[in-house]
Amino acid sequence: MAELTHLDPEGRPQMVDVSAKAVTRRMAVAAGYLELDAPAAEALSRGGGPKGDPWSVARIGAVGGVKRTSDLIPLAHPLAIEAVEVAHHWDPATRRAWLRVSVSCEGRTGIEMEALAGVTVGLLVLYDMLKAVSHGMAVGPARLLRKEGGRRGTVTLPWEGCPWAP
C-alpha cells in the first residue's frame, strides 16, 4: 500500500521535499462539469445572462485557478506554469457545461492539482456568471483525465460520458 507523502513520521502535515527529484516535463489534463437547471441552461444556450458571456469569463477564471493553486492548496509547490489550455463543451441534452484544462511545465513535482484547480475554479466562475438567472446548479465532479512525467510516467483515466478522451 502506498504511503501518504504529505505526513511526517509523527503524522503531521508537511510539504514534500522534491529537491532530489529530476526535472522532467510535466503535463496534466482534468475535466469537470456544471449541471444546470432549465433556466440556467436556457441562459447558457442563449449566450449568457445579465453578466455577459459566461464561457469567456470561465475560461479566464480557469487560468487564474491554475496560476493560484499553491495559494489555495497549502502543501502544493509553486510551479512555473508554461502553458494552460482551456476548452469548453455545452451538452444541452444532459444540461452539463463541461470544462477541460490542460497544464504543462518543467518541474520536479506533478501538475495535477493545477489542472484540477483550474477546472474547479472555472466551473465556479461559470456558476457565478449564471446565478443571476438561477441558483439551481451543481458543481462537479471534476477528475484527472491524464498526467505525464514523473515517477509514474503517463497515466490515463478514462471517464465515461466525458466529451474528451484522456
Q: Are 34 and 89 in contact (CB under 8 A)?
A: no
* Any domain includes 10: no
Rounded Cα distance, 54 and 162, in Å: 21
Q: What is the pLDDT of residue 81?
A: 98
In the residue annotation, 128 being an active-site residue is answered as: yes
| pLDDT block averages, 10 residues each, the chain of length 166 | 70 80 94 97 87 92 98 94 98 98 95 98 97 96 96 93 92
CATH number assigned to the domain comprising residue 73: 3.30.70.640
> Which residue matches cell numbers 444532459?
94
pLDDT at 22: 85
Are 101 and 29 spatial neighbours (Cβ–Cβ below 8 Å)?
A: yes
Which residue in the block uniquely carries the three cell numbers 477564471? 61
49 in any annotated domain: yes
What does the alpha-carbon distance between residue 34 and residue 141 come to, in Å, rounded to a whole number?
8
Euclidean distance between CA atoms 89 and 79, whole angstroms: 28
Catalytically annotated residue among 53, 71, 91, 128: 128
- Residues of the domain holding 73: 24-156
Pairwise CA distance, residues 27 & 103, whole Å: 6
User: Quick check: is 52 in a domain?
Assistant: yes
Q: What is the total count of domains within the chain?
A: 1
Task: Give the per-residue pLDDT at 72.
Answer: 94
Q: What is the DSSP letter of 13?
A: B
Q: What is the largest CA-CA distance in the chain?
A: 55
Strands 155-156 and 96-107: unpaired
